Structure 1
């Protein structure tokens, strides 16, 4: 949950007891739960309104496909699986350099 484990939740609970006291803590937890329920209801309502307005386009929209990490991963995998033999060949008239040969130096290159 939010990248927090039991030790973090325990520390938050102890700090809450010290800050608010054990007698106010149940009321604060009840208010926080009510706030979360209201926020979830508002988000669901907005999502449903958006789905009604956009119709089938919204249902077909997959936001995971728009994740930049997923796009990069997909392009890298496609490039690795690309079996284009022409991409591996050297241009005509060019020979690979020998091990001890230095590449040509262009003085006008930036």
Structure 2
């Protein structure tokens, strides 16, 4: 329940509890708090069982943690063999490079399939040019220091 509380924080809480409630009342307060937590936990468990019984036998193995969208999607993706096969055949880097080339008006070249960047494509913001068959990275031209970059209201 308290997995993110460190040793120093726990000692601080104990000292603070002793100072606020006093050593005489502290055992009674601890019993009352533990009894309250137990009642809340029992109420939660009975509510879960009531919901499961109302949903019917097809939801017998339903877990309320599945209502979290991340958990639900992760479970669905892990259990589906077709998606695993599709994921293994899909090359995201290649697809992204093709989209970037299409946006920038460049032609996709077959040399990008070998792993080396094609001449005229961009890699990490730098243009690639082929000299003697080996790609060299050349920095993009930067605007003059006195020139202000264009203002993009959507980016701010």
CA–CA separation in structure 1 for the residues paired with 2:65 and 2:42: 23
User: How do 1:23-102 and structure 2 match up within 5 A?
Assistant: 23-63=24-64, 66-70=67-71, 71=73, 74=77, 81-83=87-89, 95-96=107-108, 98-99=119-120
Q: Which runs of 5+ in 1 are unaligned?
A: 103-110
Q: Relative to structure 1, is the Cα distance of residues 41 and 63 closer, same or farther in structure 2, using a 3 angstrom cutoff?
A: closer
* TM-score, normalised via structure 1 length: 0.62
More strand by share: 2
Task: Report how many aligned residue pairs link the two structures.
Answer: 96
Aligned CA RMSD, in angstroms, stands at 3.7
Q: Which runs of 5+ in 2 are unaligned?
A: 99-105, 110-118, 122-126, 128-156
Deviations 1:52-102 (A, max 9, x none): 111223324355555444537x59x859824258x85x6xxx8338428x9
Q: Relative to structure 1, is the Cα distance of residues 65 and 46 closer, same or farther in structure 2, using a 3 angstrom cutoff?
A: closer
User: How do 1:14-29 and structure 2 match up within 5 A?
Assistant: 14-29=15-30
